[in-house]
Structure 1
Amino acid sequence: MKPKVICHIMSSVDGRLLNDRWTEPFDGTPASDLFQVYAAIGRELYTDAWMFGKNTLRAAFPYKWGIDGHTVESDSPAVSVGDRHSERMFIVADPEADIYFTSSVLRGNNILVIVGRNATEEYLSHLRERRISYVITDDATDLRQGLEAVDREFGIRSVSVQGGGILNGALLADGLADELSLVVYPGIDGLSGVPSIFEYVGGATDCPAAGQSLQLLSAEQREHGVMWLRYKFHKKLHK
């Protein structure tokens, strides 16, 4: 089984994600106060873990580990448990196995990395030295396989994905999203082509949302005019 996946994201009213482009609150409230509302809502989801896309994580760990080395042996243990003291865990899929971690925690939460068989023994040693947990899957780009592994090996039953439009788009296309937690900032971007809530990378004929419908579960107004919309995905087609 895989964990319940909640795509938790904040956008402008026109669905754009680059918050430095959004218009300012009308009453002079600092935009950072509104971002704190989003963060607080994320904690209210009470998931076992949360997840960024790799590109988003680069803001915290910008340096790369070299990918040359001894490829992990087929009989190497597929699971390593590092520090696990936090109430929630932070998950990242690292298909290239090259994130250079300088800490075993992100925002106070212990880190769990999903890597593929292309990872090197040297990189796995780096993770163990940092006391970072990991699981090895056949292919770390296979999100379903990775999510099933963290459920099976670490007992993670729910994940809030806060990684951005590309990760959301990949989850959507694979039919892995169970809920959408959309926090709407009362401002506008307005420019065509700016990244949006779901950004599937594909061709013009691809329909990543095909066979999926949304049911509104709740709509709440929060502080500073922020709206929180929560939807459930219904899947008509199994992908």
Structure 2
Amino acid sequence: MPAIELPEPNEPVPAGDFIADPDATMHYFAVDRSGSLQWEQGSFSYFDVEAHIVELIPASVSDAFKAHLRSVGVSYIIAGDEQLDMAEAVRKIGETFNTSEIILGGGGTLNWSMLRDGLCDEVSIVMMPIADGEKHTRSLFEADEKYSAPLPIGFSLASVEPLEDGSVWMRYGVNGPVDANRTRTR
């Protein structure tokens, strides 16, 4: 992604996190490892609720980018120095927004990074009775050498619930890494 050309701020950007809307009822946390998501406003509509945008960024993001986020009303949480530290981001989300539960709806790479780093305690999957035969689809978890390597992670089935449309909702607890050499017997 090309670098964003933003003007240098006229005034120094205060150090630390920035919360533009402390009274927001729903938050959308955007993972931005390099300061490249250029928002035009601080929220968007999600069904019938307004979701306030909170960027998760490393401290190395430019003051020009932080000033831009402030100017459009986007909050940000700084986690990590040069690289985004997702464990620190999750901890700060819990403290800042007084929450103990976050729903991760990322792509395969983010999902894998969070799972591999031990930041997920449950995996929730809805299997729909549809197939499209597409061979270029992404998987739920995808290792990316830039962020995290492959590693076998075990799950334990917590529940299965059939839904009215014929879908099945499966919930799994995350057990953590398993020995790749261990064979499963039944």
State TM-score, norm by structure 1: 0.62
Q: Residue 213 of structure 1 corresponds to which residue in structure 2?
A: 154
Residue segments in structure 1 that go unaligned for 5+ positions in a row: 1-54, 56-62
- Aligned counterpart in structure 1 of residue 128 of structure 2, from 160, 165, 185: 185
Q: Residue 149 of structure 1 corresponds to which residue in structure 2?
A: 92
CA change 1:190–1:141 in 2 (3 A) is farther
CA change 1:139–1:179 in 2 (3 A) is farther
Residue 217 of structure 1, CA deviation: 1.3
CA change 1:134–1:140 in 2 (3 A) is farther
Between the aligned partners of 2:82 and 2:161, the Cα distance in structure 1 is 39
CA change 1:172–1:193 in 2 (3 A) is farther
Residue 191 of structure 1, CA deviation: 4.6
Q: Residue 38 of structure 2 corresponds to which residue in structure 1?
A: 100
Q: How does 1:69-148 map to 2 (within 5 A)?
A: 76-106=14-44, 107=46, 108-137=50-79, 138-148=81-91
Q: Residue 104 of structure 2 corresponds to which residue in structure 1?
A: 161
Structure 1, residues 101-122: CA drift from partner, whole Å, max 9, x if none?
Answer: 1121132211111111221112
Structure having greater relative contact order (Cα 8 Å, sep ≥ 6): 1
Residue 162 of structure 1, CA deviation: 0.7
Between the aligned partners of 1:197 and 1:82, the Cα distance in structure 2 is 32
Aligned length: 169
Structure 1, residues 48-89: CA drift from partner, whole Å, max 9, x if none?
Answer: xxxxxxx9xxxxxxx97337858xx8x942111112443221
Q: Residue 223 of structure 1 corresponds to which residue in structure 2?
A: 164
Q: Is the CA contact (8 Å cut-off) linking 1:166 and 1:201 kept in structure 2?
A: yes
Structure 1 outlier segments of 4+, above 6 Å = none
Q: Is the CA contact (8 Å cut-off) linking 1:79 and 1:153 kept in structure 2?
A: no
Which entry has the higher C-alpha Rg, 1 or 2?
2
Q: Is the CA contact (8 Å cut-off) linking 2:31 and 2:55 kept in structure 1?
A: yes
Structure 1, residues 93-139: CA drift from partner, whole Å, max 9, x if none?
Answer: 21111211112113221111111122111211111122221112224
Between the aligned partners of 2:26 and 2:174, the Cα distance in structure 1 is 24
Q: How does 1:52-63 map to 2 (within 5 A)?
A: none
Between the aligned partners of 2:70 and 2:126, the Cα distance in structure 1 is 36
Structure 1, residues 153-189: CA drift from partner, whole Å, max 9, x if none?
Answer: 3323211011121111111221211100101111124
CA change 1:197–1:236 in 2 (3 A) is closer
Q: Is the CA contact (8 Å cut-off) linking 2:6 and 2:68 kept in structure 1?
A: no
Tell me if 1:172 matches 2:115.
yes
Between the aligned partners of 1:67 and 1:166, the Cα distance in structure 2 is 28
CA change 1:154–1:128 in 2 (3 A) is same
State TM-score, norm by structure 2: 0.77
Q: Residue 44 of structure 1 corresponds to which residue in structure 2?
A: none
Q: What one-letter code is carried by the residue in structure 2 that aligns with 1:130? A: V
Which structure shows the higher helix fraction? 1
